[in-house]
A = this chain, B = another copy of it.
Amino acid sequence: MFYYIIDLLGTVAFTISGVMVAMNKRLDAFGIFIIGFVTALGGGTVRDILLGVKPVTWLINSTYMYVVIGTVLFAVFFRSKLKYLNISLFLFDTIGIGLYTVVGVEKGIAAGLHPIMCIALGTISACFGGVLRDILCNEIPVIFRKEIYATACILGGISYFVLTLFNIKSNIVFAIPIIVVILVRLLAVKYKLQLPSVYGKEE
């Protein structure tokens, strides 16, 4: 129940991030909705497709669709006020990717996959909504360019398997990686950390 609420708050944060990008690109109402939807649910959809889950989760559980529709309406009507929500949205988003990472890792384990593949699935769940958003908006995905975002998910996923090595109980194994993701991302933003680009920063 607790995790379900986090999941839905993450969905809200992701949807709003999509809506803001779509409004900046001056898309119409349908475009804004689709970009919000894809940002929120695209990562889990790619994960489900790679795993062969049939059909994908959001087709079966209508709650996600309602949350996205409601959030898009909210974000469009209160678009001039969204800047006051910046910190809340950043927190929801960060907690959201933490949760999605762990959910993705656990789906990989349930499918009997190697830990590296589970971490990959967790990272895809958390990050590929944003990748699809940027592709649909004709941009090179921002997480490929400058944010410590996927890295936080990968470290969270690794911590999951480190904890299971020590036979830690399941609730903690679920919660700690989420905290790892959040901490890494907060530190990265606070200290403006970036992954090195091979040719150095663009002038």
Contact = CB atoms under 8 A, between A and B. Distances in A.
Contact of A23 (B25, B31, B76, B198): B198
Interface string A15-46: 00000001101111111101100000000010
A141 B195 contact: no
Interface string A36-67: 00000000010001111111101110100100
A140 B140 contact: no
A118 to B, nearest CB: 9
Q: Could you say how many copies of this chain the assembly holds?
A: 3
Given A50-B59, A55-B50, A116-B62, A141 B136 contact: yes
Contact of A27 (B52, B62, B138, B197): B197
B32 A198 contact: yes
A144 B31 contact: yes
Contact of A202 (B26, B52, B117): B26
A114 to B, nearest CB: 5
A137 interface: yes
A26 B76 contact: no
B51 A55 contact: yes
A144 B35 contact: yes
Interface stretch (A95-103, A145-153, A161-169, A177-185): A145-153
A138 to B, nearest CB: 5
Interface string A124-135: 000000010001
Contacts of A54: 51-52, 54
A23 B136 contact: no
7 closest Cβ pairs, A-B complex: A52-B54, A31-B144, A28-B195, A29-B195, A27-B144, A138-B140, A30-B150
Interface of A: 22-23, 25-32, 34-35, 45, 49-56, 58-60, 62, 65, 76, 79, 108, 111, 113-114, 116-117, 120-121, 131, 135-141, 143-146, 150-151, 194-199, 202
